[in-house]
Amino acid sequence: MTLASILFDLSSHPEYLDILRKEISEVAEELGPMGEAGPETLQRQWLSKLEKMDSFIAESLRMNHPVLLPQGWLWKTFSSRTEPTSPKNTWISFPSVNIMMDPEFYPNPEVFDGLRNWQKRQGLDDAANKHLATQATPSQLSFGFGNRACPGRFFSVSGLKMVLTKILLEYDIKRAGTKDPYRKMVQFSFISMDAELLMRKVS
Which residues are documented as binding site for heme? 150
117 touches 58 (CB < 8 A): yes
Closest CA to 162 of 174, 154, 150, 152: 154
Annotated binding residues: 150
Residue length of the chain: 203
**Rounded to whole angstroms, how far apart are CA atoms 10 and 150?**
25
Rounded distance, CA 164 to CA 147, Å? 29
Report the alpha-carbon distance of residue 55 to residue 57 in Å, rounded.
Answer: 5
Q: Report the alpha-carbon distance of residue 36 to residue 137 in Å, rounded.
A: 34
What single-letter amino acid sits at 30?
A: E
Backbone dihedral angles phi then psi of residue 119, each to the nearest 5 degrees: -65, -35
Return the DSSP state at 128: G
